[in-house]
Amino acid sequence: MLTPTELEKLVFRQTNRHQGRRLAVTPQNSSMRHLAYGRIILNHSKRSESLSTGERETGLICLSGQAKVTVDGIPYSLGEYDAIYIPRDSAVQVTTNADVDLAEFSAAVEHRYPLQLVRFKDISDDPGLKFTTGGPGCKRQLHMLLAKNIEAGRLIAGFTISEPGNWTSWPPHEHANMLEELYVYFRMPAPAYAIQLVYNNTEHPELVTVVRDGDAVLMPSGFHPNVSVPGHPICFLWAMAAHREGEDRQFGVVNVQSGFDQGSSGLEAGRKQ
């Protein structure tokens, strides 16, 4: 098991308890080499936030509400589960007339890739980007928002919603040679919770912890299955950053834990064709 200091670099609690923009996870305060995560939460008390992407490609995912995202002077509207990929070296302003909750993911890149707006409706109509996987006890829906459908250097992001009481990220898999990853739990109001594991050896797991709405768990390496309590689904954003820009940016290329590798990983539909 991890020491308290090591645990602080893997688990970040209640990352959705603020107004405005706040970065919760960065390479400077965590075990991530590339990936950063934050939230932009606006309402009647704070209607706008501005940022510069600098050397980091950035993805915004709208978890609730509506926002106008202006990039280098050009406005784009985001509704629930819409996403936008913003190139490095961009000036960004986010505004709302009501309430909005945006997840922000970023990673440093050398190259500048084109801005891309992703509508959730288009994702929902594409079986290669929204699909159901898993069997009894581990059935879930995957939604790939910033994945093979866009051009980017490191970032891959989307979200998973399970059947109540089911496992996800099953069979257990890992991809540490190519990608680091983090999960952010959302749409899990109390009393819902889940159990998250991270391990290289089940005899001595690095992490076994309860997670709730707003919590973030980092997976720099290791297998990382999770399970929800009966009667409640598990809902989480997943974001990955490729170690080698471009070359390692591949979804679904994983190593399945020995003993559970008799069938498929369940992620094949999300791979590039």
Residue 97, pLDDT score: 94
Cα 173 from Cα 30, distance rounded (Å): 22
Yes or no: say if 160 and 236 are a contact pair by the CB < 8 Å rule: yes
What digits encode the pLDDT tens for the residues 152-210?
999 999 999 999 999 999 999 999 999 999 999 999 999 999 999 999 999 999 999 99
Residues 6 or more apart whose Cβ sits within 8 Å of residue 247: none
The amino acid at 134: G
How does strand 173-174 pair with strand 167-168?
Answer: unpaired
Neighbours of 191 (CB within 10 A): 9
Instruction: Kindly tell me if the per-residue pLDDT of 1 is higher than 60.
Output: no
Yes or no: say if 156 and 249 are a contact pair by the CB < 8 Å rule: yes
Cα 106 from Cα 38, distance rounded (Å): 9
Residue 3, pLDDT score: 60
Give exposure, 165-185, as e/b (b: 16+ Cβ within 10 Å).
ebbbbbbbbbbeebbbbbbbb
Mean pLDDT for all residues in the chain: 95
DSSP letter (8 states) at residue 215: -
What percent of the chain has a predicted confidence (pLDDT) above 90? 92
Residue 18: exposed, middle, or buried by beta-carbon count in 10 A (0-12, 13-18, 19+)? middle
Instruction: Kindly tell me if the per-residue pLDDT of 78 is higher than 80.
Output: yes
Cα 194 from Cα 37, distance rounded (Å): 21
What digits encode the pLDDT tens for the residues 81-137?
999 999 999 999 999 999 999 999 999 999 999 999 999 999 999 999 999 999 999
Cα 182 from Cα 207, distance rounded (Å): 13
3-class SS letters over 33-47: CCEEEEEEEEECCEC
Give me the sign of the Cα torsion angle 206, 187, 26, 12.
negative
Cα 191 from Cα 148, distance rounded (Å): 35
Cα 213 from Cα 233, distance rounded (Å): 12
Does domain 4-247 correspond to CATH entry 3.20.20.70?
no
Cα 262 from Cα 172, distance rounded (Å): 12
Instruction: Kindly tell me if the per-residue pLDDT of 43 is higher than 70.
Output: yes
Q: Model-level pTM?
A: 0.95
Among candidate residues 143, 191, 199, 133, the one with its CA nearest the CA of residue 167:
133
